[in-house]
């Protein structure tokens, strides 16, 4: 063994020992005659937990925010004193709760807040403790009240609301699919609670398949997210569902110009439940989106969730089971036109438990299945069939120290199988998505430590260790270290930064230049490629001069390698389906918010650059949108009347200029404009890839709503106008005819909801 290796090992052991001694010493010094306050904040009418509520102990000047489940923990509270905690939440009346704590014990409280008539009110004092920021870098927390105030497209949609945030880019009005800070749209992880959803969209991506009626809150991690999440390079979108009304039965009926839906929720012995279903009945309004006479789209979705709590069985524990099922189909009833269908089938169970110490854990098991099929009939297209099965089990454990530090550890095991049947030019069908001689399993561990003991500094660091990878590449074991920090210069100004390494072992088999696809087939990264890897560097600041005004600025730099890219030069059967590429993205995101007693105003601006390199060719992808500005103004008018006005601006989307045509012989016939794969006899002659840009995009939308309270029901009316001044925003040029196709014209929509 060489001298340098001996020295290296000695240095590692020295630093590990030093950090361990420092950690133990700090915890010993922080031990004192203190206790812990723990509790949950919930709605007094429904019993639904309130995420991100503020808990502030005035006597001590410390506090916390409830998590996505409504739970909170505050440690190191001096004993033998009476304290008052002020609990507040936007749209609810503040409540003062008196309590005391015992030495080395936990005091549990439940706080029920009453909603106010005026939902847009001044933001309450934030209950953060020194050294801890309410919002982590790159994290946006969105409530359903914010989403419901935005203009509706065809349906109320969770994902369309994300487009108003900085860092989110979209290339057209048709699809709700989006890109985050220069990443491809398959780099976004969608979670229904903790269950992955592989295709969360209806009707060619026009809106989300998950009904907003069942969503309580949404968390969007734009980048630099912690070790708890894995499997994607760019972002995490977590939809936190409702538990159901714990106090009384409640039913609602909803109708739009395209679908009808209903929901039922209520209590039962030991818990609560919610069930919601939606089904399409008309597709005429879709003609405005796709410039077609008739698009025979049909869809449905169904969600259910049941919760059970029994103090005799497990005090401070909750068991949940939930399921989500959706299906779409396009049946033309014409043998010359292709058909398609796709579906999701999801089931999950979880157990959440607080123990007698300031420790809690959650155990999850889930099954997620996506199936998609493209049926060519006699159209001359090639058939495509995709089947994804995801089995995931994981355990997350969190512990809060007396010093206010927090430790999180977890283990996850995931098995993913992906069948993708494709047909080549000779009519032979093969499964390119799954190897029969191997099971695709990922086994990973994670740990992170949040250092919160200091007054103005908080630090989080940790890593994921992937012991076994999904793909059969040489990089089966790898680390994903991540770190973030924040420093409070004052009570109003804080600096934030984050860094991390991220891996992704699953990709979609689609061409990024295709304007519209029926669905995107998923496959595990082939064994001849290494997993995609990305490095995130994020920094910024947050300024809150008062409780009504906030300004957030974040800059990012992201590099990605080993990106699977569809091989458009494949000729022979032995040629690989994918080649690898790399990308670089950097930019700045700005979010300004002003809140007053009866109105809110927000404006976001993004400026960014993306470039991609494949086969030594560097180009800009379609989602390289240099400048975007989005504004929202919503306010209470009078006696239940509300309105919102939104205006968005995007600089031009890159596109490849058509320079002419030439004849080329293909064996699969004519191309359908919505085809996943296929070609045509007359082939376009294209210029340099994405070297030109379309004209700038801008649009004004209006939304007006009114709530009527009757003795037997509540009635909600919602009227929206999309593209108020009828801006002719270009969608694409048809390469076959040269015809210009525009996006949405002036479009009014109407939604009625009855709640019993």
Which backbone phi and psi does 6 adopt, to 5 degrees? -65, -40
The answer, yes or no, to whether residue 62 has pLDDT greater than 90, is: no
User: How far is Cα 570 from Cα 424, in angstroms, rounded to an integer?
Assistant: 11
User: Quick one: pLDDT at residue 5?
Assistant: 41
DSSP 87-129: EE-TTB--EEEEE---TT-EEEEEEEEPBPS--S-PPPPP-PP
The answer, yes or no, to whether residue 213 has pLDDT greater than 70, is: yes
The answer, yes or no, to whether residue 150 has pLDDT greater than 60, is: yes
| Predicted confidence (pLDDT) per residue in 546-594, tens digit | 878 899 999 999 999 998 888 777 776 677 878 888 999 999 999 999 9
User: Quick one: pLDDT at residue 426?
Assistant: 64
The answer, yes or no, to whether residue 665 has pLDDT greater than 60, is: no
Q: The domain 193-755 belongs to what CATH superfamily?
A: TonB-dependent receptor, beta-barrel domain (2.40.170.20)
The answer, yes or no, to whether residue 750 has pLDDT greater than 90, is: no
User: Quick one: pLDDT at residue 81?
Assistant: 79
Structure token digits, residue 346: 């999801």
User: How far is Cα 437 from Cα 440, in angstroms, rounded to an integer?
Assistant: 10
Percent of the chain with pLDDT over 90: 27
Q: Which residues contact 232 (CB under 8 A, 6 or more apart)?
A: 187, 188, 189, 502, 504
User: Quick one: pLDDT at residue 122?
Assistant: 33
Average pLDDT over residues 468-483: 76
Determine the Cα angle at 441 with ends 438 and 444, to 5°: 150
Average pLDDT over residues 421-434: 73
More confident residue, 691 or 126: 691
Structure token digits, residue 738: 């040269």
Q: Are strands 188-192 and 235-241 parallel, antiparallel or unpaired?
A: parallel
The answer, yes or no, to whether residue 31 has pLDDT greater than 50, is: no
Taking alpha carbons only, the member of 283, 281, 391, 307 closest to residue 345 is 391
The secondary structure of residue 284, as a DSSP letter, is G
Would you say domain 31-129 falls under CATH 2.60.40.1120? yes
Range from 230-239, 405-414, 462-471 carrying the lowest mean pLDDT = 462-471
Average pLDDT over residues 285-291: 64
The three-state secondary structure class of 219 is: strand
Average pLDDT over residues 536-540: 94
| Predicted confidence (pLDDT) per residue in 622-663, tens digit | 889 999 999 998 888 877 788 889 999 999 888 887 776 666
Average pLDDT over residues 206-235: 88
> 444 vs 19, 237, 470, 562, CA distance in Å?
24, 21, 11, 21
User: Quick one: pLDDT at residue 123?
Assistant: 33
Q: Is 193-755 in the same CATH topology as 31-129?
A: no
More confident residue, 537 or 63: 537
The band of 676, judged by pLDDT with boundaries at 50, 70 and 90, is very low
- Buried/exposed code over 445-454 (b: 16+ C-beta within 10 A; e: otherwise): ebebbbbbbe
Longest dimension (CA), the chain: 88
Taking alpha carbons only, the member of 128, 135, 52 closest to residue 496 is 135
Q: Which residue pairs, CB below 8 angstroms and at least 24 apart, start in 141-146?
A: 141/51, 141/52, 141/217, 141/218, 141/219, 141/220, 142/217, 142/218, 142/219, 142/220, 143/51, 143/52, 143/90, 143/217, 143/218, 144/212, 144/215, 144/216, 144/217, 145/90, 145/91, 145/119
Structure token digits, residue 452: 């919160």
Range from 212-221, 427-436, 595-604, 726-735 carrying the lowest mean pLDDT = 427-436
Hey, which of 17-26, 161-170, 209-218, 410-419 has the most confident mean pLDDT?
A: 410-419
The answer, yes or no, to whether residue 196 has pLDDT greater than 90, is: yes
User: Quick one: pLDDT at residue 344?
Assistant: 95
Q: What is the mean pLDDT of the chain?
A: 81
Hey, which of 254-268, 422-436, 655-669 has the most confident mean pLDDT?
A: 254-268
User: Quick one: pLDDT at residue 130?
Assistant: 35
Which backbone phi and psi does 281 adopt, to 5 degrees? -130, -10
User: Quick one: pLDDT at residue 578?
Assistant: 83
User: Quick one: pLDDT at residue 88?
Assistant: 86
The three-state secondary structure class of 354 is: strand
The residues spanned by each domain of the chain are 1-28, 31-129, 193-755
The band of 599, judged by pLDDT with boundaries at 50, 70 and 90, is confident
The three-state secondary structure class of 346 is: strand
The answer, yes or no, to whether residue 404 has pLDDT greater than 50, is: yes
The band of 708, judged by pLDDT with boundaries at 50, 70 and 90, is confident
More confident residue, 401 or 132: 401
Average pLDDT over residues 187-211: 88
The band of 287, judged by pLDDT with boundaries at 50, 70 and 90, is low
User: Quick one: pLDDT at residue 289?
Assistant: 62
Average pLDDT over residues 419-438: 72
The answer, yes or no, to whether residue 340 has pLDDT greater than 80, is: yes
């Amino acid at each position: 063994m060489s001298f340098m290796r001996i020295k290296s090992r000695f240095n590692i052991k020295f630093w590990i020992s030093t950090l361990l001694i420092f950690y133990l010493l700090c915890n010993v010094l922080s031990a004192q005659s203190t206790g812990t306050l723990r509790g949950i904040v919930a709605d007094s009418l429904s019993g639904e937990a309130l995420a991100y509520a503020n808990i502030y102990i005035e006597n001590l000047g410390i506090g916390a925010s409830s998590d996505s489940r409504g739970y909170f923990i505050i440690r190191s509270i001096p004993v033998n004193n009476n304290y008052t905690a002020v609990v507040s939440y936007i749209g609810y009346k503040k409540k003062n709760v008196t309590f005391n704590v015992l030495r080395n014990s936990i005091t549990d409280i439940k706080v029920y807040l009453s909603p106010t008539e005026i939902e847009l009110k001044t933001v309450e004092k934030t209950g953060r403790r020194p050294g801890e920021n309410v919002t982590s870098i790159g994290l946006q927390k969105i409530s359903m009240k914010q989403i419901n105030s935005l203009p509706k497209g065809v349906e109320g949609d969770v994902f369309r609301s994300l487009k108003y945030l900085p860092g989110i880019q979209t290339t057209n009005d048709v699809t709700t699919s989006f890109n985050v800070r220069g990443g491809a749209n398959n780099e976004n992880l969608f979670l229904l609670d903790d269950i992955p959803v592989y295709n969360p969209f209806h009707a060619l991506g026009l809106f989300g398949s998950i009904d907003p009626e069942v969503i309580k809150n949404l968390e969007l991690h734009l980048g630099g997210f912690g070790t708890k999440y894995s499997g994607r390079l760019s972002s995490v979108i977590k939809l936190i569902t409702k538990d159901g009304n714990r106090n009384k039965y409640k039913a609602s009926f909803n109708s739009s110009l395209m679908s009808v839906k209903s929901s039922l929720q209520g209590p039962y012995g030991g818990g609560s439940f919610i069930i919601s279903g939606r089904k399409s009945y008309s597709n005429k309004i879709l003609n405005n989106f796709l410039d077609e006479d008739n698009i025979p789209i049909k869809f449905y979705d169904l969600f259910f969730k049941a919760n059970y709590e029994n103090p005799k069985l497990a005090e401070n524990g909750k068991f949940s089971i939930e399921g989500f099922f959706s299906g779409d189909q396009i049946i033309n009833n014409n043998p010359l036109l292709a058909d398609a269908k796709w579906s999701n089938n999801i089931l999950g169970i979880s157990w959440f438990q607080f123990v007698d110490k300031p420790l809690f854990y959650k155990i999850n098991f889930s099954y997620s299945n996506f199936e998609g099929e493209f049926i060519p009939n006699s159209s001359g297209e090639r058939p495509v069939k995709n089947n994804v099965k995801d089995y995931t089990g994981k355990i997350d454990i969190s512990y809060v120290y007396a010093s206010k530090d927090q430790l999180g550890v977890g283990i996850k095991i995931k098995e993913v199988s992906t069948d993708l049947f494709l047909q080549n030019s000779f009519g032979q069908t093969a499964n390119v998505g799954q190897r029969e001689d191997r099971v695709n399993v990922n086994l990973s561990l994670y740990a992170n430590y949040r250092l919160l003991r200091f007054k103005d500094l908080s630090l989080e660091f940790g890593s994921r260790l992937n012991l076994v990878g999904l793909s059969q590449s040489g990089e089966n074991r790898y680390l994903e270290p991540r770190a973030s920090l924040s420093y409070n210069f004052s009570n109003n100004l804080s600096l934030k930064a984050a860094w991390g390494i991220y891996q992704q072992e699953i990709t979609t088999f689609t061409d990024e230049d295709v304007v519209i696809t029926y669905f995107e087939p998923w496959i595990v990264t082939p064994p001849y490629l290494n997993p995609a890897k990305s490095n995130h560097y994020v920094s910024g600041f947050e300024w809150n001069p008062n409780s009504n005004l906030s300004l957030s600025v974040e800059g990012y730099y992201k590099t990605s390698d080993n990106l699977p890219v569809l091989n458009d030069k494949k000729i022979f059967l032995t040629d690989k389906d994918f080649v690898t590429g790399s990308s670089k993205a950097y930019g700045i995101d700005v979010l300004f918010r002003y809140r007053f007693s009866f109105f809110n105003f927000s404006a976001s601006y993004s400026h960014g650059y993306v470039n991609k390199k494949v086969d030594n060719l560097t180009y800009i992808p379609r989602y390289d949108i240099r400048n975007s500005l989005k504004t929202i103004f919503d306010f209470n008018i009078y006696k239940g009347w509300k309105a919102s006005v939104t205006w968005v601006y995007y600089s031009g989307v890159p596109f490849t200029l058509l320079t002419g045509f030439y004849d080329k012989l293909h064996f699969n016939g004519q191309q359908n404009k919505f085809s996943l794969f296929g070609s045509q006899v007359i082939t376009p002659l294209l210029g340099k890839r994405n070297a030109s840009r379309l004209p700038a995009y801008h649009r004004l939308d209006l939304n007006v709503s009114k709530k009527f309270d009757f003795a037997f029901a509540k009635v909600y009316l919602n009227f929206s106008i999309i593209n108020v001044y009828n801006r002719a925003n270009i969608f694409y040029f048809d390469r076959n005819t040269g015809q210009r196709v525009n996006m949405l014209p002036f479009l009014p929509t109407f939604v009625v909801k009855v709640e019993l």
